[in-house]
Structure 1
């Protein structure tokens, strides 16, 4: 795919959704961090249901740490891998309290040092909470990037590297959200909704699917 076509794709996605946002509910960088940590192998809907109950009770590192592992589990037990996630949440809160005065560090290395926080989670926090031009590649972004031929790669790191290279600066902050939403609702995994896709004519996917097929 050439850069002119990439720019056209991004311009259309921006026109449709000028100010894209994550579907995770959050009101502070800490709430976002915990929500993203919980979202691994889970849907945003399931995470929001859990945090809707958790955050009114505890939404700071100290308050959640005071709940303890078992206390956190009672709020997140409907989410996959809740046992290990609860332990990581408590460990993360402890580090935030001891090393960062209870604040979320605006620093990639410090974020990735937190239990359960990898590069993708750090990218989401840096992008969504702090406005960094980072691109967290999840399953949706990986699929959309490869299927459309926008930024091809054999793994998430390769796709991230390619996206950072080919996405113009003016689109970098928002492309993460555009591609996630496009992959979640239009360019879905098993049967992409090509007939209702706003970038269908620009996409280089050879096996497009239409309603009458």
Structure 2
């Protein structure tokens, strides 16, 4: 896939998705961090149901830490792996209070040192909360990148590195959400909605549907 085709793909996606934003509900970098930790192997809708009840009660490291694991679990027990996630969130809050003046760090090293925060979560927070040119490759981005041949790769790190290299500079910040939303609603897993796709003629997927 050449440079001009990649540019055209992102121009069309940006036109079709004029407000490429996360579908997780949040109002601060800390709320986003907690929501993203909870979103692993869970839907954004399911996370929002939990955080819409949690955040009005506790939306700072001190407030959530004060709930304790048992108190926090009452709010997140509908989410998969809530026991592990709850324990990690409490530990993360403690570290934020003790090491970062209760602020979410805006660098990868400190973010990935927090319990429950891996490379993908760090990339989401850096991109969405702080506007860094990062690419959090989830299942949607991995699928779209490989299907379209925009950035084919055998694993998420390979796809991430190719996207960072190949995405036009003017779209590097919104590209994360443009690709996620395109994958979530158009280039779906079981059967892509090729007939409703704005980049149908640019996509190099060999098994396009009518």
TM-score (norm 1): 0.98
2:142 alignment partner in structure 1: 142
- Alignment partners' CA distance in 2, 1:2 and 1:80: 41
- Alignment partners' CA distance in 2, 1:98 and 1:178: 36
Mean CA deviation greater in 104-113 or 15-24: 15-24
2:122 alignment partner in structure 1: 122
- Alignment partners' CA distance in 2, 1:33 and 1:83: 17
TM-score (norm 2): 0.99
Give the secondary structure class of the aligned counterpart of 2:124: helix
State the Cα distance separating 1:19 from its structure 2 match: 3.0
- Aligned counterparts, 1:1-213, within 5 A: 1-210=1-210
- Alignment partners' CA distance in 2, 1:183 and 1:9: 14
Question: Unaligned stretches of 5+ in structure 2?
Answer: none
State the Cα distance separating 1:168 from its structure 2 match: 1.5
- Alignment partners' CA distance in 2, 1:106 and 1:176: 18
Query: Which whole-Å deviations, capped at 9, do the CAs of 1:2-36 have from their partners, x for residues lacking one?
Result: 11111100000111223311000000000000000
State how many pairs are aligned: 210
State the Cα distance separating 1:209 from its structure 2 match: 1.0
Query: Which whole-Å deviations, capped at 9, do the CAs of 1:69-106 have from their partners, x for residues lacking one?
Result: 01110000000000000000000000000000100011
- Alignment partners' CA distance in 2, 1:14 and 1:74: 39
- Over 3 Å off, 4+ runs: none
State the Cα distance separating 1:146 from its structure 2 match: 0.1
- Alignment partners' CA distance in 2, 1:184 and 1:18: 16
Q: Please report the RMSD computed on the Cα atoms of aligned residues, expressed in angstroms.
A: 0.6
- Alignment partners' CA distance in 1, 2:62 and 2:158: 37
Q: Is contact 2:123-2:135 (8 Å) kept?
A: yes
Give the secondary structure class of the aligned counterpart of 2:66: helix
- Alignment partners' CA distance in 2, 1:28 and 1:161: 28
Q: Is contact 2:6-2:168 (8 Å) kept?
A: no
- Alignment partners' CA distance in 2, 1:53 and 1:142: 32
State the Cα distance separating 1:169 from its structure 2 match: 1.2
